Amino acid sequence: MTYPFNVLALAGACALALSPSFAHAQASSVQLYGVADAGIVLERGGPAGSANKIGSGVASGSRLGFKGSEDLGDGTSVYFVLENGYNIDTGTAGQGGLLFGRQALVGVRGTAGSLSMGRQYAPYFKALNDFVDPFCTGLAGNVQNILPTYTRVDNSIEYRSPRWNGLTADVLYGFGEAAAGNEKNRTIGASLSYDAGPLGVVLVHHQQGDPTGTAHRRSTLLGGRYQFGPVTASAAYGRNRDLLGNASRDAVLGVAVHAGRGQVLASLAMHRNDSGAQAHARQAAIGYVYSLSKRTDLYTAYGHIVNRDGAAFTVGDATDAGAGTTGINLGIRHVF
C-alpha cells in the first residue's frame, strides 16, 4: 500500500483510509502527513426528517499524523504511527475525542514480516478497503453502511507476513484486558490475500467476544477485484453471526472506471438476515471523483438504502454513520 501524499488522489484513494506501508526502511526519520476533507452532505428519509450539513471526512477521514522509522541494519527497522482524527467542520477531535484515535502503534519490520502493537486497523476493514469497496469505505457508497463494521482494535498485536508470490497473511489479536478470563472482550482477526497483476483476492475472518466471554460476534468474507484496462470490478460474499447466534449474509458488487482525470464509482450491497424478523436491506450507490492535482480532488456521490422487515440501516460516509436512507455528497479532499 502506498502512503497517501505520494500518490495521485484517484489512484491512491483507498490508501487514504489506512496507514503508510513502510515498504522501504529508511534512516531515522519522522514525517508529518494529513488529509483535509470537507463536503456538503444531504440526508433524506431519516426518522427526524431531512438534514443538510457540512461533513468532515466524507470521502476520507480528516487527519493529522506522524510516522517515523529507524533502520537498525540487516534489513530490520522500527516504525511507529500516531494519527489524530479531527472534524474540519468544527475543529474538534474525532473518534470520541481521542488524541490519536485513528491509529497509535509501534512495530518492528524485517525479512520475516512485521510485528506491531497498539490501536490498529482490523484485517476485516483492510480487506473491504483494499479488495472490495470501490468507494474505499468512504462517501455515500460506503459498503459498511450495510456490511459489519470492524474498523480499529485497541490493545492489539498484529503480525503481517512478508509477501511471497503475491500471497500475504495478516493476523491480529486484541486483548480484552478483563480479569478472570482472556475470552472477555477479546478480538481475533485474520486474513489471507493474493495480490498480483490485475487480480486481488482476500479471505478474512473477524471474531469479537462479549464482556462475559461466553458469546462471540463473527464475520467471514471472501472478496476480490480484477482490473482490465481502465475498469476495476469487485465482488464479495460474507456470512455473519451476532452475539445471540442470529445468522446473516452479505454480498457486494462494485466497479470503478477511470476516465481521463476522473473516476466513476458504483456499487450494489445486499444484506439478508436469516434469523428472527428476516430483516433485509440493499444499497445502491454511484459516485464521481475528479483529480485537480496530485494532492487535491473533488467528489460527489449518491447512495440509497431500501430497508425491509424491520431493518434500519442508514447511509453514512467515511466518518459519519448517517441518519437517513438516502445520502448525497459534494466536496473536496486535500492530501498533504
Record the pTM: 0.92
Q: What tens digit of pLDDT does each residue of 127-175 get?
A: 999 999 999 999 999 999 999 999 999 999 999 999 999 999 999 999 9
Look at residue 22 and tell me whether its pLDDT is greater than 50: no
At the fourth CATH level, the homologous superfamily of domain 4-335 is: Porin (2.40.160.10)
**Cβ–Cβ < 8 Å for 118, 101:** no
Q: CA angle, corner 201, sides to 240 and 333, nearest 5?
A: 85
Predicted local distance difference test score (pLDDT) of residue 4: 38
Nearest Cα to Cα of residue 66 among 87, 88, 81:
81
pLDDT at 214 (0 to 100): 87
Distance CA 215, CA 304 (A): 33
pLDDT, the chain, mean? 92
Q: Give the model confidence (pLDDT) of 302-327 as tens digits.
A: 999 999 988 999 999 999 999 999 99
Amino acid at site 54: I
| Residue of 219, 1, 267, 261 whose CA lies nearest to 122 | 219
Residue 27, pLDDT > 90, answer: no
Task: Residue 280: name the closest of 243, 308, 242 by CA.
Answer: 308
